[in-house]
């Protein structure tokens, strides 16, 4: 582990019982994130995995303090280097954002300002957070663009986002987020909008940067391939709650939550014999029931039993210790006399 | 960029040619035709026949059109029956007044409209926001000339705060250089003349600027509301930029793109509205001359003025297109 | 598969159905139906609609509602320069400079004003849509020719164009309607063409083409109906501008000279001369114009939002 300040070894980010509720006039409030807790240590990469709408992006925006203020209530605790961010003032958050914690977004085209040259969009971070004049900043910008693998960076400074390819745009966004060597980087589906070949390059780039600088990385994705290649620990989310947490190899080898198992089974694999059918999860995320009534995944779950319902068991399904380094929210998890054939293959991709 | 401009200029040619055909045909289709237009309504049949022969109006139409085109290119639209002078001369004398008026109206509309729209959007859902929405709807629904009359009645006639007619007090003996009265006053250092001309502009400019104001408020508000939710604004915030930087570079800059197009589109509205406003305030511009031309059936003035105004309108829109290219890099490349 | 108590299973499904239920109103409804649904719950749209309906009713039943004949002159003995009788017994809003009952003239005026608005808009709509469909459906040189023509009309600012047409056709109510319609034509033509082009390039049109659906069927069965909503919105908004435009033309002396047909624009224009004597002569017709224009505008704006998928939740 690289030396990352006086708190080295202690988590960079501690999220505890984070809950986000959206309320709109005349409609029932929606709890998008519901008691999520996790830590990230320096140099560590964690994955937040789930289908769209499971609350993973909202979690990341809440951590960054980027949710709109009106109609949104954030409770719980987010500590960055021990500093509480929930309820923190705007000016303090602005000082941290871009400098100590940064974010890379899903769609690089819409995430870049179309009317401002790439160069300005990189230098403005430097000028904001570091003691630099314009000249130094643009020299640094060239270095940054070069570091993220953008060819001919001097010329690119003057170009506009629409003149760059999708992969280049994402590289530019990464350059911006890394400009001030943040201690925490949150990447929200950074490869989803890109071609498959570019995806691999971007992931490779992120991995290198994290290893080089000891930055903690939170990877938000629905793509298990990304998790397999990058993450140390994985938190699987469903309907606003974490339902399973495990070290990567463990998770791929022995998924316990039937939802996790279903996710893994629905990924096509090269090592499966031909003709092996893919097993998609029934239904869609829309079929979730509120956690107060039972396990949200129960309507789609093949293992569901009577006591998955709150009215039978008398309590909301808790997230519990499930062996060393593992946590699980399930009453009827998948059991393994031994690992199912080939289950480790994906996990061993790294 | 240069290619973009040249391309746009070339696109104008067919439009202008078509415009000339339209107005050429228009004059010919009028009862009495061009002879009556030139000689006035009380012309005798003999005089008309004589005129037709003299100006080759018995020749084939395309010959006449080419001749008309030839004269129009040299800005010769014949003589006004009202003033007995060349139409172009009258136009050039009157046009500076209209430019001054529309310019001030636009300054009023933009200067008030953009901040108003911006603040309405930033306080989305507030009383101020609702008031600006209602106000902008009302602004579009009021007939311009009625508003002009109300303003005149209230501020000029009843309260006497501001002059209610003309471009300048007739008792001021101002030197004329450009026929832009305010500018003339400044150039000749006749400060009182410049100030007086400015006072004369206030009420007409407000009346004329109200519709554009209402539209600009609405578009700015809608546009800011859109842009605030854009991903790149979130990125800018994620970069920890100061609120002022986010606002200036990322919100306002992009929000003004649709507003700038709207501003260009308002030119036609302004030229239309100028006819009405100038009439109410007896403001000696092109619009007042057009109204008189309608009243006295001065067809040469009608034809010439409408043609010239259309050309101005088309050119202004071209300028707007070009400036849009400067503002939005995505347009420039194409 | 694990055995699950049937009853419990059903209970879970029930809960899921409730939780995941799509909010009532959307889903499965056609765009128009759901737009109407949303309009019905929108107070602003209702205000607009009520205004419009009230004026339409007044126009339809004008002879029943008007207390007096709109052209008969009353109280002539009381009218002298600088004095026009105000509200009094039998004349709730007073009389105009020629002694005609103002209220009755306003009521009758709604007929003419609304008719000018509706006829000119429908006329502009029909011609504009025809041009737009031609350009949008055929493309190629038809498109070029039509759009050049439209651009030429557009190159003359609206009111000046209306003046030109009106001078050419002489002073009567048809000339007024045609003049206003001509100004609207290019707006509708461009709108429809633009929206058709966008629809033609959309995935579903390409998909239909790939399935071998005939071109005419795609254009008239899919593209055209889907392109109509901006045109409908614009037509509603145009009703407002048409009425205001008519007032402007009347003000410039290009209105309908027939005194048997009172019209708000002409009343307003005429009243300007007596503004310092009795401003209410101008304010009442102006208010009528403003309120009706506002009604159409509110309705149009809300219709735009209701039809725009962007605003749908």
Out of A188-197, A274-283, A318-327, C107-116, pick the least confident: A274-283
A164 with A143, same domain? Answer: yes
B67 with B94, same domain? Answer: no
**Confidence grade of residue A189 (pLDDT, cut at 50, 70, 90):** confident
A162–B238 C-beta distance less than 8 A? no
C105 in a structural domain: yes
Residues of chain A contacting residue C16, judged by C-beta atoms under 8 Å apart = 283, 287-289, 298-299
Domain boundary among A161, A180, A199: A180
**Within an 8 Å CB–CB cutoff, is residue B308 touching chain C?**
no
Question: What does the pLDDT average to over C157-174?
Answer: 85
A234 with A325, same domain? Answer: no
Q: Percent of chain A scored above 90 by pLDDT?
A: 18
Domain boundary among A165, A180, A195: A180
A249 in a structural domain: no
**Confidence grade of residue A19 (pLDDT, cut at 50, 70, 90):** very high
Number of structural domains chain A divides into: 3
Interface probe, candidates B237, B239, B253, chain A, greatest A C-beta count within 10 A: B239
B10 with B143, same domain? Answer: no
C74 in a structural domain: no
A65 with A127, same domain? Answer: no
C226 in a structural domain: yes
Asked whether the beta carbons of A43 and A210 are under 8 A apart, the reply is: yes
pLDDT value at position C23? Answer: 45
Read off φ and ψ for residue A22, nearest 5 degrees.
Answer: -100, 130
C251–B30 C-beta distance less than 8 A? no
What is this structure's pTM?
A: 0.81
What mean pLDDT value characterizes chain C? 80
Q: Which residues lie below 8 Å from residue A44, measured CB to CB, with a gap of 6+?
A: A216, A217, A232, A233
For the record, the structure tokens of B119 come out as 């603040």
Pick from A274, A285, A251, A212: nearest CA to A50: A285
Q: DSSP readout, A181-216?
A: --SEEEEESTTTTS-HHHHHHHHHHHHHHHHHHT-E
B267 in a structural domain: yes
**Within an 8 Å CB–CB cutoff, is residue B157 touching chain C?**
yes
| Facing A298 at nearest CB: one of C1, C12, C20 | C12
B54 with B110, same domain? Answer: no
A166 with A259, same domain? Answer: no
C12 in a structural domain: no
B184 with B315, same domain? Answer: yes
B145 with B178, same domain? Answer: yes
Q: Which domain holds residue C131?
A: 50-66+94-311
Dihedral sign computed on CA atoms, order A339, A340, A346, A349? positive
pLDDT value at position C93? Answer: 75
A259 in a structural domain: yes
Separation of alpha carbons A320 and A333, rounded Å = 12
Asked whether the beta carbons of A345 and A266 are under 8 A apart, the reply is: no
| Facing C1 at nearest CB: one of A283, A302, A308 | A302
Interface probe, candidates B227, B235, B255, B334, chain A, greatest A C-beta count within 10 A: B235
Pick from B177, B182, B152: nearest CA to B167: B182
A248 in a structural domain: no
C259 in a structural domain: yes
Residues of chain B with pLDDT under 50: 333-334
Task: Give me the CATH number covering residue C206.
Answer: 1.10.3720.10
For chain C, the farthest-separated pair of C-alpha atoms sits apart, in whole angstroms, at: 101
B62 in a structural domain: yes
Asked whether the beta carbons of A118 and A172 are under 8 A apart, the reply is: yes
B12 with B100, same domain? Answer: no
pLDDT value at position C215? Answer: 79
A297 with A261, same domain? Answer: yes
**Within an 8 Å CB–CB cutoff, is residue B238 touching chain A?**
yes
pLDDT value at position C227? Answer: 82
Residues of chain A contacting residue B238, judged by C-beta atoms under 8 Å apart = 64, 66, 97-98, 102-103, 105, 177
Residue A219 bridge partners (DSSP): A47, A187
**Within an 8 Å CB–CB cutoff, is residue B123 touching chain A?**
no
Chains with ≥3 CB–CB distances under 8 Å to A = B, C
Asked whether the beta carbons of A331 and A308 are under 8 A apart, the reply is: yes
**Confidence grade of residue A7 (pLDDT, cut at 50, 70, 90):** very low
B299 with B198, same domain? Answer: yes
**Confidence grade of residue C12 (pLDDT, cut at 50, 70, 90):** low
B80 in a structural domain: no
C151 in a structural domain: yes
**Confidence grade of residue C76 (pLDDT, cut at 50, 70, 90):** low
A290–C2 C-beta distance less than 8 A? no
pLDDT value at position C6? Answer: 58
Dihedral sign computed on CA atoms, order B303, B306, B311, B312? positive
C189 in a structural domain: yes
Question: What does the pLDDT average to over C235-240?
Answer: 89
A38 in a structural domain: yes
B81 in a structural domain: no
B7 with B154, same domain? Answer: no
**Confidence grade of residue C98 (pLDDT, cut at 50, 70, 90):** confident
C33 in a structural domain: no
pLDDT above 90 (res A235):
yes
Domain boundary among B20, B44, B72: B72
Residues of chain A contacting residue C19, judged by C-beta atoms under 8 Å apart = 287-290, 293
Q: Percent of chain A scored above 70 by pLDDT?
A: 92
Cα torsion B46, C168, C148, B7 to 10°: value is 70
Length in residues, chain A: 350
Residue C163 neighbours by CB distance under 10 Å: 25
Closest-CA residue of A relative to B248 is A116
B84 in a structural domain: no
**Within an 8 Å CB–CB cutoff, is residue A308 touching chain C?**
yes
A283 in a structural domain: yes
A50 with A117, same domain? Answer: no
Question: What does the pLDDT average to over C34-61?
Answer: 84
A188 with A169, same domain? Answer: no
**Confidence grade of residue C3 (pLDDT, cut at 50, 70, 90):** very low
Separation of alpha carbons C241 and B141, rounded Å = 8
Q: What is the DSSP letter of A323?
A: S
B85 in a structural domain: no
B130 with B233, same domain? Answer: yes
Task: Give me the CATH number covering residue B102.
Answer: 1.10.3720.10
pLDDT value at position C125? Answer: 92
A12 with A30, same domain? Answer: yes
Higher pLDDT, B192 or A2: B192
B267 with B118, same domain? Answer: yes
Residue A211 neighbours by CB distance under 10 Å: 13
Q: Which domain holds residue B49?
A: 2-72
CA-based end-to-end distance of chain A: 19
A298 with A160, same domain? Answer: no
A325 with A220, same domain? Answer: no
| Facing B18 at nearest CB: one of C152, C252, C265 | C152
Task: Give me the CATH number covering residue A88.
Answer: 3.40.50.300
Read off φ and ψ for residue A68, nearest 5 degrees.
Answer: -60, 155
Domain boundary among A130, A153, A180: A180
A245 in a structural domain: no
A50 with A22, same domain? Answer: yes
| Facing B146 at nearest CB: one of C170, C282, C291 | C282
Edge-to-edge order in the sheet of strand A72-80: A30-40, A13-22, A72-80, A83-84
A263 with A330, same domain? Answer: yes
Separation of alpha carbons B80 and B298, rounded Å = 6
DSSP reduced 3-state for B28? helix
Number of structural domains chain C divides into: 1
pLDDT value at position A224? Answer: 85
Q: Which domain holds residue A144?
A: 113-180
B228 with B264, same domain? Answer: yes
Length in residues, chain B: 334
Number of structural domains chain B divides into: 2
Asked whether the beta carbons of A175 and A94 are under 8 A apart, the reply is: no
pLDDT value at position A253? Answer: 86
B134 with B66, same domain? Answer: no
| Facing B294 at nearest CB: one of C148, C254, C269 | C254
């Amino acid at each position: 582990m690289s030396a990352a300040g006086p708190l080295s070894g202690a988590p960079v980010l501690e999220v505890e019982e984070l809950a986000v509720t959206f309320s709109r006039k005349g409609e029932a409030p929606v709890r998008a994130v519901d008691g999520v807790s996790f830590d990230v240590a320096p140099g560590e990469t964690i994955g937040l995995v789930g289908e769209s709408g499971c609350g993973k992006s909202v979690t990341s925006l809440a951590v960054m303090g980027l949710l709109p203020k009106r109609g949104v209530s954030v409770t719980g605790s987010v500590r960055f280097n021990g500093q509480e961010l929930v309820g923190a003032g705007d000016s303090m958050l602005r000082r941290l954002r871009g400098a100590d914690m940064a974010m890379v977004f899903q769609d690089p085209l819409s995430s870049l300002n179309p009317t401002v040259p790439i160069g300005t969009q990189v230098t403005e971070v430097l000028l904001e957070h570091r003691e630099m004049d314009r000249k130094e900043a643009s020299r640094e910008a060239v270095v940054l663009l070069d570091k993220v693998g953008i060819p001919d960076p001097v010329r690119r400074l003057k170009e506009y986002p629409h003149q760059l390819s999708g992969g280049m745009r994402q590289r530019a966004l990464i350059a911006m987020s890394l400009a001030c060597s943040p201690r925490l980087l949150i990447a929200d589906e950074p490869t989803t909008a890109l071609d498959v070949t570019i995806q691999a390059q971007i992931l490779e780039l992120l991995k290198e940067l994290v290893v080089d600088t000891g930055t903690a990385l939170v990877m938000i994705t629905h793509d298990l391939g990304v998790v397999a290649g990058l993450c140390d620990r994985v938190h699987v989310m469903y309907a606003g709650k974490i339902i399973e947490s495990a070290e990567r190899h463990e998770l791929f080898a022995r998924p316990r939550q039937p939802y996790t198992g279903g996710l893994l089974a629905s990924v096509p694999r090269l090592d499966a014999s031909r003709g092996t059918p893919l097993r998609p999860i029934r239904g869609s995320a829309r079929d979730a029931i509120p956690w107060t009534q039972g396990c949200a995944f129960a309507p789609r779950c093949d293992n569901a039993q009577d006591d998955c319902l709150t009215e039978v068991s008398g309590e909301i399904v808790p997230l519990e210790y499930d062996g060393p380094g593992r946590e699980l929210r399930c009453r009827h998890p998948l059991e393994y006399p031994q690992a199912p054939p080939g289950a480790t293959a994906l996990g061993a991709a790294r | 960029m240069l290619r973009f401009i040249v391309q746009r200029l070339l696109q104008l040619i067919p439009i202008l040619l078509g415009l000339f055909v339209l107005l050429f045909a228009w004059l010919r289709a009028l009862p009495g035709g061009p002879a009556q237009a030139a000689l006035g309504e009380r012309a005798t049949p003999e005089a008309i026949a004589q005129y037709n022969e003299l100006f080759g109006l018995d020749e084939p139409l395309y010959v006449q059109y080419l001749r008309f085109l030839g004269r129009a290119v040299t800005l010769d639209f014949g003589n006004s029956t009202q003033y007995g002078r060349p139409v172009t001369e009258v136009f050039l004398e009157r046009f500076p007044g209209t430019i001054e008026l529309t310019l001030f109206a636009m300054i009023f509309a933009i200067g008030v409209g953009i901040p108003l729209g911006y603040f309405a959007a930033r306080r989305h859902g507030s009383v101020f926001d609702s008031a600006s929405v209602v106000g902008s709807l009302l602004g579009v629904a009021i007939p311009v000339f009625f508003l002009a009359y109300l303003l005149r009645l209230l501020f000029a006639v009843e309260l006497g705060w501001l002059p209610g007619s003309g471009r300048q007090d007739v008792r001021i003996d101002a030197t004329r250089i450009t026929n832009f009265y305010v500018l003339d006053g400044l150039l000749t250092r006749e400060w009182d003349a410049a100030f007086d001309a400015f006072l004369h502009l206030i009420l007409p400019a407000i009346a004329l600027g109200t519709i554009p104001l209402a539209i600009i408020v609405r578009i700015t508000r809608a546009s800011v509301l859109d842009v605030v939710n854009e991903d790149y604004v979130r990125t800018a915030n994620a970069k920890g930029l100061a609120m002022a930087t986010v606002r200036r570079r990322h919100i306002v800059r992009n929000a003004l793109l649709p507003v700038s197009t709207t501003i260009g589109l308002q030119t036609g509205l302004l030229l239309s509205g100028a006819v009405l406003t100038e009439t109410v305030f007896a403001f000696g511009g092109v619009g007042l001359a057009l109204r008189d031309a309608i009243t006295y059936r001065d067809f040469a003035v009608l034809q010439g003025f409408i043609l010239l105004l259309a050309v101005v309108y088309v050119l202004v829109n071209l300028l707007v297109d070009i400036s849009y290219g400067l503002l939005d890099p995505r347009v420039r490349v194409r | 598969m694990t055995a699950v108590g049937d009853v419990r299973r059903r209970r879970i499904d029930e809960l899921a159905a409730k939780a995941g239920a799509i909010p009532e109103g959307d889903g499965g409804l056609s765009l128009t139906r759901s737009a109407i649904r949303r309009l019905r719950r929108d107070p602003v749209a209702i205000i607009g609609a009520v205004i419009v309906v009230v004026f339409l009713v007044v126009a339809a039943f004008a002879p029943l509602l008007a207390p007096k004949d709109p052209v008969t002159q009353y109280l002539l003995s009381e009218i002298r320069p600088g004095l026009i009788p105000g509200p009094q017994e039998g004349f709730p809003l007073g009389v105009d400079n020629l002694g005609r009952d103002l209220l009755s003239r306003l009521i009758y005026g709604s007929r003419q004003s609304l008719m000018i608005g509706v006829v000119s808009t429908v006329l502009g709509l029909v011609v504009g849509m025809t041009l737009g469909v031609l350009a949008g459906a055929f493309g190629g040189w038809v498109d070029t020719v039509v759009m050049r023509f439209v651009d030429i009309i557009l190159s003359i600012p609206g009111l000046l164009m209306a003046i030109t047409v009106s001078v050419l056709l002489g002073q009567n109510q048809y000339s007024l309607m045609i003049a206003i319609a001509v100004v609207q034509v290019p707006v509708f033509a461009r709108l429809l063409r633009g929206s058709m082009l966008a629809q033609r390039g959309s995935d579903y049109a390409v998909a239909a083409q790939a399935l071998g659906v005939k071109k005419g069927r795609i254009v008239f069965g899919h593209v055209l109906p889907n392109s109509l909503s901006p045109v409908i919105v614009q037509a509603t908004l145009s009703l407002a501008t048409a009425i205001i435009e008519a007032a402007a033309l009347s003000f410039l002396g290009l209105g309908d000279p027939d005194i048997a047909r009172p019209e708000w624009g002409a009343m307003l224009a005429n009243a300007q001369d007596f503004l310092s004597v009795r401003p209410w002569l101008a304010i009442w017709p102006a208010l009528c114009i403003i309120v009706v224009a506002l009604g159409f505008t509110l309705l149009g704006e809300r219709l735009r939002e209701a039809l725009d998928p962007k605003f749908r939740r």
